[in-house]
Amino acid sequence: MAEKSERLLNLYIMLLAQTRFVSKQDIRRAHYGDYGDDAKGLEAFEKAFERDKEDLRELGVVIEVGSLDSYFDDEPGYRISPDTSSLPEIRFEADEAAVLGIAARAWEQATLARATTEAMRKLAAQGVEVDTSRLDLVPPSLRAEEPAFDACWEATQKRRVITFDYRRPGAETTSRRLQPWGVVRSSGRWYVVGHDLDRQAERVFRLSRVQGKVSLTGRSAAYDVPVGTDVQAIAQRLVHSTPDIEATVLVRQRAGVALRRTASAVEADVTGPDDASEWDRLTVSGQLRDLVNAVLALGATALVEGPAELRDEIVARLGGVAR
């Protein structure tokens, strides 16, 4: 599937970047060289090319067919016009634009850029004239800052086992082996979901907690993703099934009832940041996002002692509100 997706993307880029129609032979040499030049290879190429054209058309791509030479009725050529691929002007309300702006920070990977560069390199090697300005349609603008993202994403596409070191807060670093099923974003973070080979169970790992390099091992297509697997649903279920962090929060007495209900320990009459009231120290566990919301809802009646991750997130949230 990954090889076919790459071939479709390369074919799309090749036909879109043309200033003229491209012959079938140029297309075969650039993207279907593995099929060979014998009769059997040419027949396989014809079938694959027809399937790929139909797949692009099903995606809404308009492939134009025309003559390579306006003076001769020779073999047909192919191209994609930018006029049929570009989007019409789209206007957003202020709140819609804000949501898109947030989403745009989630994916700014080099993966698509690398695929485009590779396609351009192949075309240049064939001596094909290209117009790179035709590719400036919808540039990728989402970012995944975690260093482990690329390797995990590649492994899910090739269905290869990955090994990596992983560390949860307050725990020792452990080595993990995973058959990755997918990479998803949940609660503002990237996770890889898959089958843990050592624990023989579904597991989800936050990419920001991966230590060092992620290694791809074994052959491609080494396993099958179970039919009907919903990696987003698995991530939501597993991420929220285990407390994310443990925190200590100072809360004014007779305040923070909801937070107190979830506390695993309460130390009464402790020294607080002011003398306006008595303070209690609560030990609470939960997802970082949930704890941030709970503390912010208490305003000046709560103060986070630790961990620093929780304090930093609250400060960042308040800074955003102030701005």
Of 315 and 129, the structure prediction assigns the larger pLDDT to 315
List, in sequence order, the alpha helices (H) in the chain: 2-16, 24-31, 39-58, 82-85, 94-103, 110-125, 149-158, 231-239, 257-261, 288-298, 308-322
Alpha-carbon span 155 to 177, nearest angstrom: 12
Contact 281, 270 (CB under 8 A): yes
Q: Which domains does the chain have, with CATH numbers?
A: 2-87+111-135 (no CATH), 149-239 (2.30.30), 245-322 (3.30.70)
What pLDDT score was predicted for residue 141? 44
What pLDDT score was predicted for residue 184? 86
Q: Which of 69-78, 117-126, 131-140, 239-248 has the highest mean pLDDT?
A: 239-248
Question: What pLDDT digit, counting tens, does each position of 41-96 carry?
Answer: 888 888 888 888 888 787 777 778 877 665 555 677 887 776 665 545 556 565 55
Q: What contacts 252, CB < 8 A, 6 or more positions away?
A: 272, 276, 277, 278, 279, 280, 301, 302
Instruction: Give the mean model confidence (pLDDT) for residues 286-291.
Output: 77
The residue among 136, 95, 96, 105 whose CA lies nearest residue 13 is 136
The conformational region for residue 289 under phi > 0 = left, psi -120 to 50 = alpha, else beta, is: alpha
Three-class secondary structure of residue 75 per DSSP: coil
186-214 burial by CB neighbour count: b if 16+ within 10 A, else e? beebbbbbbbeeeeeebbbbbbebbeeeb
Question: What pLDDT digit, counting tens, does each position of 191-234 carry?
Answer: 999 999 988 888 999 888 899 999 999 988 899 998 888 888 88
What pLDDT score was predicted for residue 3? 62
The token pair that represents 253 in the structure block: 């007495």
Contact 251, 260 (CB under 8 A): yes
Q: What contacts 143, CB < 8 A, 6 or more positions away?
A: 105, 106, 107, 108, 109
The residue among 150, 124, 175 whose CA lies nearest residue 14 is 124
Alpha-carbon span 290 to 261, nearest angstrom: 14
The token pair that represents 83 in the structure block: 């006029």
Residue 98: pLDDT above 80? no
Instruction: Please report which helix (H) or strand (E) contains residue 57, including its range.
Output: helix 39-58
Residue 114: pLDDT above 80? no
